[in-house]
Homo-oligomer: A and B are copies of this chain.
Amino acid sequence: MNALLTDEYQLTMLEACLHEGMTSQAVFELYVRRLPPQRNYLVAAGLEQALELLETLTLDGAELDWLACRPGTSARTVDCLRHWRFEGDVDAMPEGTVFFPDEPVLRITAPLHQAQFVETRLLNIVHYQTLVASKASRIVTAAEGRPVVDFGLRRAPGAEAGLYAARAAYIAGFAATATSAAGLRYGIPVVGTMTHSYVQAHASELQAFEAYARSQTRRPVLLVDTYDVDAALAQVVPLVRRLADDGIPVAGVRIEGGDLARHARTARTLFDRAGLDGLDIFASGELDEHRIARLLADAAPIDAFGVGTALAASSDAPALETVYKLQSYAGEPCRKRAGSQVSWPGLRQVDRFLGPDGHMAYDRIRRDGERTSGGAPLLAPVMRGGRRVGPAPTLQDIRRHHQAQMRLLPARLRGLMPDDGSRYPVQISDGLRSLASSLAASDCRGRSEADALP
């Protein structure tokens, strides 16, 4: 089902391109048009799955049969898809990179019909992981070093979203996920506690806690908010001692509802008095970066957080304006400019400049190949002729890269609220400006000498 996970107009366009023989080299760039209102930066994610798509895209028998029976699909198109192999190049920002609107995250160079055909699913993959990584990075910042765990699967939009959310959150610094399949598929640490229903099914909370603790070989976390949190906590202290005597070390408690700060303080006080300072207090339940920040500002003694819905739905900004635009065809730069939507033409590169304090000072988008100095280019080759350039980075590498990026980010941009007065500066190079002006006069692709790419 991979190949037909696309917009129907990719099939009509494939038909048209093959009909006309318009299969010259095309360059598309994927970027985000605008920052969501409350955001200061975005985090690139999804490249690994995008490259997997390009490497493995093929049609299965059912898809080919369906296409062949479908009115409007020529034998030529079915044949092209039957023998599909992506032969293009990809340049991209490494996953985990902090980036800004208008900056290309991914560039595809391939025959037009190939580069166009993969558009929809490329966007689908990169959009959602970038969305979640960008949200997760803020949540990690809010937690000020405390571990955060992805609890998103139940309200994630479908199966793949659950897996992608776990991966993107881990890239952005989450400590673990509750999604077992993400452990199997990506090697992300997986953690699990206990359910309310299990407590309810027992004659008493105490019985449930003890039975659960005795059934596990991993250190159990007790869920204390099925009924009355204070009553549950009072039972936990003697139980933890009793279990410790039997060699069962309880890891801590989880509180999901109610006044999390108050409950956490009650728990911490009880545990401290009982000398059980090794017990962790784990909070979850409709948390997001703002609620976590408020809890910590309120000095709530919480050791770790679980975040689900707000992460998987990126609730304050449920979509990004990701686009995939033709930048050049057959060596000539292109520009779309309908109404207010004007794009920068041609192949682009992003240079990042650091200030004297070692933090990011500004980015500059320039023409690829335009002379520059002092900045570090963000896009690098990752695929040539349909094959990867070098081995894929591990998830740990990507995670470390994002940590390093966050150390470079100026403090004002790490904050949870946007500071419009100090938006990160993204400059446009002189070369790119003059290419754009030279195209402004023409109705379509530039055809003059001046427009030729370097």
Q: What is A's interface to B at a CB cutoff of 8 Å?
A: 1, 4-13, 15-17, 19-20, 22, 26, 28, 62-63, 66, 70-72, 74, 112, 116, 119-121, 123-125, 127-128, 131, 151, 153-164, 178-181, 183-185, 190-205, 211-212, 214-218, 220, 225-229, 231, 256-259, 309, 312-315, 318-320, 322, 324-326, 329-330, 334-341, 443-445, 447
**What chain B residues lie within 8 Å of A178 (beta carbons)?**
7-9
Q: Is the CB of B196 within 8 A of A159?
A: no
Cα(A130)–Cα(B278), bound, Å:
43
Cα(A182)–Cα(B11), bound, Å:
14
**What chain B residues lie within 8 Å of A22 (beta carbons)?**
201-202
Q: Say how far A308's CB is from chain B's closest CB, in angstroms.
A: 9
Q: Is the CB of B13 within 8 A of A195?
A: yes
Q: Is the CB of B154 within 8 A of A127?
A: yes
Cα(A435)–Cα(B197), bound, Å:
19
**What chain B residues lie within 8 Å of A329 (beta carbons)?**
197, 200-201
Can you list 9 A-B pairs, Cβ within 8 angstroms, ordered by A? A7-B154, A8-B180, A13-B198, A71-B217, A123-B154, A160-B161, A227-B444, A258-B338, A314-B318
**What chain B residues lie within 8 Å of A66 (beta carbons)?**
183-184
In the complex, which of the residues A62, A155, A212 has the most CB atoms of chain B within 10 Å of its own CB atom?
Answer: A155
Cα(A181)–Cα(B21), bound, Å:
26
Q: Which of B116, B157, B201 contacts A156 (CB 8 A)?
A: B157
Q: Is the CB of A257 within 8 A of B341?
A: yes
| Known contacts A153-B120, A218-B71, A326-B201; A8/B336 CB under 8 A | no
Cα(A367)–Cα(B215), bound, Å:
35
Q: Which of B6, B161, B183, B202 contacts A157 (CB 8 A)?
A: B161
Cα(A422)–Cα(B318), bound, Å:
29
Q: Is the CB of A124 within 8 A of B154?
A: yes
Cα(A158)–Cα(B120), bound, Å:
11
Cα(A340)–Cα(B160), bound, Å:
33
Q: Is the CB of A313 within 8 A of B319?
A: yes
| Known contacts A116-B198, A194-B9, A444-B200; A20/B155 CB under 8 A | no
Beyond the given A12-B218, A201-B326, please list 5 additional residue pairs across the A-B interface where CB-CB is below 8 A: A16-B215, A121-B153, A197-B326, A202-B445, A257-B341
Q: Is the CB of B119 within 8 A of A339?
A: no
Cα(A80)–Cα(B123), bound, Å:
40
Cα(A131)–Cα(B131), bound, Å:
19
Q: Is the CB of A155 within 8 A of B215?
A: no
Q: Say how far A154's CB is from chain B's closest CB, in angstroms.
A: 4
Q: Is the CB of A7 within 8 A of B158?
A: no
Cα(A193)–Cα(B179), bound, Å:
39
Q: Which of B181, B205, B340 contacts A4 (CB 8 A)?
A: B181
Cα(A74)–Cα(B155), bound, Å:
29
Cα(A162)–Cα(B28), bound, Å:
22
**What chain B residues lie within 8 Å of A128 (beta carbons)?**
156-158, 161
Closest B-chain residue to A24, C-beta based?
Answer: B201
In the complex, which of the residues A124, A204, A226, A341 has the most CB atoms of chain B within 10 Å of its own CB atom?
Answer: A124
Cα(A127)–Cα(B197), bound, Å:
19
Q: Which of B180, B183, B227, B319 contacts A155 (CB 8 A)?
A: B319
**What chain B residues lie within 8 Å of A15 (beta carbons)?**
215-216
In the complex, which of the residues A63, A180, A199 has the most CB atoms of chain B within 10 Å of its own CB atom?
Answer: A180
Q: Say how far A161's CB is from chain B's closest CB, in angstroms.
A: 4
Q: Is the CB of A203 within 8 A of B444?
A: yes
Cα(A254)–Cα(B9), bound, Å:
12
**What chain B residues lie within 8 Å of A231 (beta carbons)?**
443
**What chain B residues lie within 8 Å of A195 (beta carbons)?**
9-10, 13, 116, 119
Q: Is the CB of B26 within 8 A of A197?
A: yes
Cα(A17)–Cα(B212), bound, Å:
8
